[in-house]
Structure 1
Amino acid sequence: MNRLLYELERRDLRYGLETMCCGGGLGTATIIDRVVE
């Protein structure tokens, strides 16, 4: 997650997607929306 947040800021992007395999056929995905004021 830290790497994703760093890259969003470094590349000046708004959205990021992180996926993780939990094993046993399970998985999770997280979409990050970087808010810039």
Structure 2
Amino acid sequence: MDLTFIGLGYIGAGIGAGLVLIGAAYGIGRLAASAL
């Protein structure tokens, strides 16, 4: 295994998790706004 490859994998996973969290927060915000 190449260390740079592992590093890119961690960065990609971190970005993916960040996008999921942002998407979840955005979806919850839209649900709350439509409920109000």
TM-score normalized by structure 1? 0.31
Higher helix share: 2
Question: Which structure has the bigger radius of gyration?
Answer: 2
Greater RCO between the two (CA within 8 Å, min separation 6)?
1
Higher strand share: 1
